[in-house]
Chain A
Amino acid sequence: AQSVAQPEDQVNVAEGNPLTVKCTYSVSGNPYLFWYVQYPNRGLQFLLKYITGDNLVKGSYGFEAEFNKSQTSFHLKKPSALVSDSALYFCAVRDTYTGGFKTIFGAGTRLFVKA
């Protein structure tokens, strides 16, 4: 069965410092991996996705994510955090083997960037 784990409920980082939000996944086949962000009173917004190819994926707002097949991880990164990056971040996966229409989400990690 597909699953996603985000081991940290909250990540705290100072503005200007690099940030990492962790995600690991489990699928039967090859994964399609996504990161979404949720700002207060807004719906989830797409940040980036990994389909195939280069393991380092670049997305919106300067975010990037690194796919690591051996560690089944897809950590979200940014070289220099901004206060405005403070939000709730969700990792998600779809399994290419089982197909279907559902995207499986993690529980979310709250990022707090301090000025």
Chain B
Amino acid sequence: EPEVTQTPSHQVTQMGQEVILRCVPISNHLYFYWYRQILGQKVEFLVSFYNNEISEKSEIFDDQFSVERPDGSNFTLKIRSTKLEDSAMYFCASSATGTPNEKLFFGSGTQLSVL
């Protein structure tokens, strides 16, 4: 089965630093997503992206966050000035058409630790 790949698997950064988390969605998929999971808590929706623009975002996704599809394969999440509370596992996902009954394909995640 095709896979979503994420790099790096672990990222350690100092508070206030910028981080970029990278994802390669499945090649023929059109909708891309970022989710995060703080240890022991729910998997939380951050943002969805289609046709080179944000289609929906949560209240978590404030001005410190941005997403980009810089080329035909990569999808990135940037956190401009990291806070301690940004420490979490970040999952990228993709889907073919974005319809509500469609399953999501997830990457294995990036564990972000902000010190």
Residues of B with C-beta under 8 A to A99 = 100
- CB contact under 8 A between A100 and B42, given known A45-B106, A51-B101, A105-B35: no
Please tell me the size bucket of the interface on A.
20 to 34
- CB contact under 8 A between A34 and B56, given known A41-B108, A102-B48: no
- CB contact under 8 A between A102 and B58, given known A44-B91, A46-B103, A49-B101: yes
Contact A101 B101 (CB under 8 A): no
Q: How far is the CA of A36 from the CA of B42 in the complex (A)?
A: 13
Number of interface residues of B (CB under 8 A): 29
Residues of A with C-beta under 8 A to B12 = none
Shortest beta-carbon distance, B38 to chain A, in Å? 10
Flag whether B4 is at the interface (Cβ < 8 A).
yes
Q: How far is the CA of A34 from the CA of B100 in the complex (A)?
A: 11
Residues of B with C-beta under 8 A to A44 = 43, 91, 93, 104, 106
Q: How far is the CA of A74 from the CA of B48 in the complex (A)?
A: 25
Contact A46 B104 (CB under 8 A): yes
Q: How far is the CA of A99 from the CA of B101 in the complex (A)?
A: 11
Mask, B47-66, CB within 8 Å of A = 1, is: 01010000110100000000
Shortest beta-carbon distance, A31 to chain B, in Å? 10
Contact B106 A102 (CB under 8 A): no
Contact A101 B41 (CB under 8 A): no
Residues of A with C-beta under 8 A to B106 = 36, 43-45
4 nearest A-B pairs in the assembled complex, by CB-CB distance:
A43-B106, A101-B48, A105-B43, A102-B45
Chain A interface residues (CB < 8 Å from chain B)? 4, 32, 34, 36, 41-46, 49, 51, 90, 94-96, 99-108
25 A-B contacts (beta carbon < 8 Å): A4-B42, A43-B4, A43-B107, A44-B43, A44-B93, A44-B104, A44-B106, A46-B103, A46-B104, A46-B105, A49-B101, A49-B103, A96-B100, A100-B56, A101-B31, A101-B33, A101-B56, A102-B48, A102-B56, A102-B58, A105-B42, A105-B43, A105-B44, A107-B43, A108-B43
| Other A-B pairs, 11, CB within 8 Å; known A36-B104, A43-B109, A100-B56 | A43-B106, A44-B104, A94-B100, A101-B50, A101-B56, A102-B45, A102-B58, A103-B45, A105-B35, A105-B42, A105-B43
